[in-house]
Amino acid sequence: MHLAELSSRQSAQSEPQPWWKGAVIYQIYPRSFADTDGDGIGDLKGIERNLDHVASLGVDCIWISPFFTSPMRDFGYDVADHQDVDPIFGTIGDFDAVVAKAHGLGLKLIIDQVYSHSSDQHRWFGESRSSRDNPRADWYVWADPKPDGSPPNNWQSVFGGPSWTWDARRGQYYLHNFLPEQPDLNLHNPQVQEALLEITRFWLERGVDGFRFDAINFAMHDPELRDNPPADAGGKRTRPFDFQKHLYNQSHPSIALFLERIRALVESYGDRFALAEVGGERALQEMHEYTAGSRRLHSAYGFDFLYAERLTPALVAQSAAQWPADGGVGWPSWAFENHDSPRAIPRWCKPQHREPFARAKMLLLGCLRGSIILYQGEELGLTQVEVPFDKLQDPEAIANWPQTLSRDGARTPIPWRSDAPGQGFTSGDPWLPFGEDHHQLAVDVQQADPNSLLAFTRRVVALRRRVPALRWGTMNVVEAGRQKLVFERAFGDQRLRCTFNLSDDEVPLSPHNGSLFRVGDVLANALGPFAALIEEV
């Protein structure tokens, strides 16, 4: 049976589903997408002008990383004004134009929201630090020193060093789980929650279709300020943060109750979407808590694949099993790459296997149960860039050099035209260097090649959109060996078997009724290195 026939027959059986369920979401990192004013930094006009490329992939939605007013100590995740656009990215009018263009192309649009902390340049923090009795005195987390003048407890920041910085104005310490320039908001304060909900409403009124909530499990702390216990022995430790179990500086049970308020507000605007980013040693438990029932967030994603050293059948099987369709847990989302993690291709395969692996990886992502996230440049197969120390921008990598892998290597600009100055990204000097091989992977080069990874990505996204079993169906892992991964996706009376060879050796194959979609060599009874096969069963 041809794929088109199968899709048409099954679509007629499908009940309406929310647009976000099983959606393909394309992440745009604004600094590195497209620059229109020659300053070497991407901007909102660059997003608007290049949305046709994103729409041509067939994706359902774009997610735009922070573009808000910010001193850029953490490149937009230190927000100084939640309701305005930083001048380096443009104006609020430019954002409105992006929304209009996206909707005109049939794309939904979600944006980041950073609610656990703000910039120290935010007017709220300026008022809060001015005295102990001003109207916003309790909008951030302040604490007196111990009798010897040391910080209130032993909490350590993600970026290195204590989570507490002394402020002479108040004669107290303030909490920051990240940079000292990112003071933690006190979400135990009802006024802070109301202010954040007003920010949510502001962007909903501007037409956004939802939000990705950054590091949301850091949103509330233990008010008793109890010390974190030491972490168990073992594992790589490059920062003081790694030496603790993070029981009290984050992950307070009341976070889930605040998320219920967010969900209620978001859904009052109709068919909207709320997605949580959750990391840490208790990420799975917290993702389940944050998506439980129908009153909390719609979906969550963690770092199952983002920091994995290898892509193995066991990893896929374990991750899928953690989100059973009938287990009373929420809807998962998955990403293999993003702005915080290394590019997947050099992380997961040897250089000589890059091309077949890139296709197998893309098809695997397209076959997973859940919503999936493509990071800009992933459709081109961009590789991780080794950014030299003198060109690093990432504050975490600079502070922990050379032990922490720089996030900059995955944040480098998109190569749009192979032979243009600035590879079509900018007419000036790009804020980060291109990879040595990125001109060969440029959009214009791949656009002209029907066998490129870009063309293949379009076929994978089209397959997922057409076939209900891949978009909404259950997932049952049949085999997860050292090399071969086999799972079935089912929806209604449609059942597909997805077989992947995640190694560079051949693996045995028992074909069923013929291929609906395949990548790589399929021999008589064997699947070639990094090959895959989807069949109807």
Residues paired with 28 in a beta bridge: 64
pLDDT on residue 408: 87
Q: What is the dihedral of CA 389, 394, 400, 406, to 10 degrees?
A: -70
Q: Which of 246-273 are b and which e, b meaning 16 or more Cβ less than 10 Å from the residue's Cβ? A: bebbbbbeebbebbeebbebbeeeeebb
Dist. CA 38–CA 29, nearest whole Å: 17
What confidence tens digit (pLDDT) does each residue in 80-127 have?
Answer: 999 999 999 999 999 999 999 999 999 999 999 999 999 999 999 999
pLDDT on residue 403: 66
User: Can 309 be counted among the known catalytic residues?
Assistant: no
Q: Which of 435-445 are b and which e, b meaning 16 or more Cβ less than 10 Å from the residue's Cβ? A: beebbebbbeb
Which 3-state string (H, E, C) describes 455-506? HHHHHHHHHHHHCHHHHHCEEEEEEECCCEEEEEEEECCEEEEEEEECCCCC
**Active-site residue, selected from the candidate residues 48, 181, 277, 378:** 277
**pLDDT bracket for residue 11 (50, 70, 90):** very low
Q: Is the peptide bond before 415 cis (omega within 30 degrees of 0)?
A: no
Residues paired with 476 in a beta bridge: 488
Cβ(140)–Cβ(119) under 8 Å?
no
- Greater confidence (386 vs 221) lies with 221
Mean pLDDT of 239-257: 96
Q: CA of 337: how far to CAs of 158, 288, 381, 411, in Å? A: 20, 22, 11, 11
Dist. CA 285–CA 293, nearest whole Å: 14
What confidence tens digit (pLDDT) does each residue in 505-519 have?
Answer: 999 887 666 677 888
Q: Among 207-216, 253-262, 325-334, 402-411, which stretch is predicted with the lowest mean pLDDT? A: 402-411
Q: Which one-letter amino acid corresponds to residue 132?
A: R
pLDDT on residue 8: 41
φ/ψ of 476, rounded to 5, equals -125, 115
Structure token digits, residue 318: 């374990």
| Helix residue spans in 61-166 (DSSP H) | 92-104, 123-128
pLDDT on residue 377: 98
Dist. CA 68–CA 361, nearest whole Å: 33
Q: What is the bridge-based pairing of β-strands 526-527 and 507-508?
A: antiparallel
Mean pLDDT of 181-197: 98
**pLDDT bracket for residue 9 (50, 70, 90):** very low
Instruction: Give 246's contacts (C-beta < 8 A, 6+ positions apart).
Output: 228, 280, 281
pLDDT on residue 251: 97
Residue 276, SS3? Answer: strand
Cβ(457)–Cβ(500) under 8 Å?
no
Dist. CA 48–CA 59, nearest whole Å: 16
pLDDT at 537 over 60: yes
pLDDT on residue 148: 97
* DSSP per residue, 179-220: -TTSPBB-TTSHHHHHHHHHHHHHHHHTT--EEEETTGGGS-
Q: CA of 318: how far to CAs of 59, 279, 477, 485, in Å? A: 27, 17, 9, 12
User: Can 488 be counted among the known catalytic residues?
Assistant: no
Dist. CA 417–CA 240, nearest whole Å: 43
**pLDDT bracket for residue 401 (50, 70, 90):** confident
Dist. CA 414–CA 434, nearest whole Å: 8
Directed axis angle between helix 255-267 and helix 283-291, to 10°? 40
pLDDT on residue 404: 66
What confidence tens digit (pLDDT) does each residue in 362-393 have?
Answer: 999 999 999 999 999 999 999 998 888 888 77
Mean pLDDT of 282-308: 95
Share of the chain above pLDDT 70, in %: 95
pLDDT on residue 394: 76
**Active-site residue, selected from the candidate residues 214, 304, 378, 394:** 214
Q: Tell me which H or E stretch contains 355.
A: helix 354-367
**pLDDT bracket for residue 523 (50, 70, 90):** confident
Structure token digits, residue 2: 């041809």
Tally of CB atoms within 10 A around 222? 16
Structure token digits, residue 267: 């859904």
**pLDDT bracket for residue 406 (50, 70, 90):** confident
Closest CA to 303 of 217, 210, 192: 217
Residue 230, SS3? Answer: strand
pLDDT at 26 over 60: yes
Cβ(364)–Cβ(487) under 8 Å?
no
Tally of CB atoms within 10 A around 491? 19
What confidence tens digit (pLDDT) does each residue in 36-66 have?
Answer: 999 999 999 999 999 999 999 999 999 999 9
**Could you tell me the domains of the chain?**
18-119+190-465 (3.20.20.80), 474-536 (2.60.40.1180)
